[in-house]
Amino acid sequence: MNLIFLGAPGSGKGTQAATLVQDFGLAHVSTGDMLRAAVANQTPLGLEAHGYMSAGKLVPDSVVIGIIEERLNTPECAHGVLLDGFPRTVPQAIALSEMMKRMGKTLDRVIYLEVGEEELFQRLSGRGRADDTPETVRSRLKVYQDQTSPLIAHYASEGLLARIEGVGSVEDIGARIRAALKA
Ligand code: AMP
């Protein structure tokens, strides 16, 4: 099973992904985690990505598409993946679809965690991550609106979208996701 988690920053993708990958035996592929590791290790990728991340902007498509392709080709991803934070733009979604076709993989479902803007701002402001300053938070929410939210209609038109209300307890939201995957 290959899944995408779609949702704004602060929608709870990472939290839900953590238990879902365990229950379903999927590889957790988070571009945010991969990029933060690259920044911490000061690799060439990290040095390139750092400025974009600390400004709350997206790292260029070509860069993230490259790291995803490399990762999806590893044996760890053979039994299914949960993509968390990728794709974030329509060109990324198109590139993903093409690379999966080449690899003989299919995309089974896109789980969209729906959370209102006010709630997102509250959650992100209290998280304490390096890229969670008020300015950066505002920029990341705007980038999400402008560049990522078009993916909701994109995947709905492909019949892959499962809309999940992302407000409530972690357990309740997890139960909604599992129910949607069974449907
Ligand atoms: P995240 O942990 O998913 O919120 O990602 C943290 C930051 O990493 C984002 O604000 C972007 O700067 C960068 N990033 C993560 N995933 C992507 C992606 N798919 N495309 C572009 N930039 C990304």
pLDDT at position 95? 98
58 lines ligand 1 (CB under 6 A): yes
Q: Are 115 and 10 in contact (CB under 8 A)?
A: yes
Q: Are 30 and 163 in contact (CB under 8 A)?
A: no
Place of tokens 């996701």: 177
11 lines ligand 1 (CB under 6 A): no
Place of tokens 């307890």: 169
Looking from the CA of residue 143, the nearest atom of ligand 1 is: 10
User: Nearest-CA neighbor of 32 among 116, 111, 132?
Assistant: 132
* Mutational pocket test of ligand 1: of 88, 120, 144, the residue with most ligand atoms within 8 Å of the beta carbon: 88
The Cα–Cα gap between 26 and 49 comes to 26
* β-bridge mates for residue 111, sequence order: 5, 162
52 lines ligand 1 (CB under 6 A): yes
The Cα–Cα gap between 94 and 139 comes to 24
| pTM (predicted TM-score) | 0.94
17 lines ligand 1 (CB under 6 A): no
Instruction: Summarize pLDDT for 71-106 with one digit per residue, the tens.
Output: 999 999 999 999 999 999 999 999 999 999 999 999
For ligand 1, atom 14, the nearest C-alpha belongs to: 32
31 lines ligand 1 (CB under 6 A): yes
**Which structure tokens are listed for 144?**
């999400």
Instruction: Summarize pLDDT for 152-173 with one digit per residue, the tens.
Output: 999 999 999 999 999 999 999 9
Q: What is the DSSP letter of 96?
A: H
Looking from the CA of residue 87, the nearest atom of ligand 1 is: 19
